[in-house]
Copies of this chain bind each other. A is one copy, B any other.
């Protein structure tokens, strides 16, 4: 689960990680009172969206560009004007996709005199089975770019979760980065606090880019990106309220509510599959045979009749020219899937081709249910057959593509 910068910074404050003074504004009416609190000097206005590249991205209001997603204002008045102009707009960055992300909140943050910028991240490290801490002097840069061009400037330590953080880890990373001795202990303290946040809130990523030292010698987290492990939200119920669904794809949100995994793509064939691997493979074979998937919806390993029906409804909302259901039953039973399809098709009239391939657990029962339903379902004998049938069906004259 992703959260906004301002929410991440609130968590930083709670864990004692230094951040600059800032105000969140949701409603233009709040700008007046906030304006009274802004002290003279530079303030930075930042659109709060779930996407990177805000500084280069532009905010549009009614289709017109009104400014960038991050803007520096020389004084409070200008800051308030900028905030007013972008609130309610849509931010378009390289990460947002064509639709952009709604700017429902802005963060107005006090400007600081930066002496130097750093990069700091904590992340679950699959390969080393630990929490890896990555630090670099190349703050403010895209870290993948740094990894490619100056890999020696990324310093990493993997914390064994059974041992936990020890103060020398941050100091050693600081020494490797060439920090001045007086900056080492406070740097390590920040890493320690972020590690505590990571573990306590079941994070999957904390990224601070840039983490800066001010001309006054203070460390400050100028940006903050935190994502949480969805699987652990049950033990951090306070975090669920931080979720901002307006930042996500509506169909993905709907699928997630039904505990389904949904990915939207660019083509015209809907794919309803069980298992991520089979879903990807189905997409691969459709492409191989000249078709183009519109999405894939993984009904997962615990599908019930209800959520198969639900999946099918979500799929129909996403404009598609045909649907391929490809299920190999293991824990999922083919008869359950068939019953879900029949149920969904009792509600809506099917006006596009539907190819169904069932195999494995309770296949015969499933196929019989489909046959008995009398619905215009095309059944396939195997995966290639099914892919071929749907690709052909979606190429018929009168259909797109």
- Which A positions have Cβ atoms within 8 angstroms of B? 162-163
Contacts and interface: CB of A to CB of B under 8 A. Distances in A.
Contacts of A162: 162-163
A56 to B, nearest CB: 46
A163 B162 CA distance: 7
2 contacts: A162-B162, A162-B163
Secondary structure at the A interface, as helix, strand, loop or mixed, is: loop
A391 B155 CA distance: 67
A162 B162 CA distance: 5
Nearest to A162: B162
Contacts of A163: 162
A251 B169 CA distance: 45
A362 to B, nearest CB: 34
A332 to B, nearest CB: 30
A166 B163 CA distance: 17
A213 B162 CA distance: 35
- Please name the 2 residue pairs, one residue from A and one from B, whose CB atoms are nearest each other, closest first: A162-B162, A162-B163
A159 to B, nearest CB: 13
Nearest to A164: B162
A162 B163 CA distance: 7
A162 B161 CA distance: 9
A163 B163 CA distance: 9
A300 B162 CA distance: 35
A163 B164 CA distance: 12
A129 to B, nearest CB: 14
A131 to B, nearest CB: 15
A160 to B, nearest CB: 9
A258 B226 CA distance: 49
A165 to B, nearest CB: 14
A184 to B, nearest CB: 23
Nearest to A161: B162
Nearest to A160: B162
A96 to B, nearest CB: 42
A273 to B, nearest CB: 36
A130 to B, nearest CB: 13
Nearest to A163: B162
A398 to B, nearest CB: 61
A287 B162 CA distance: 50
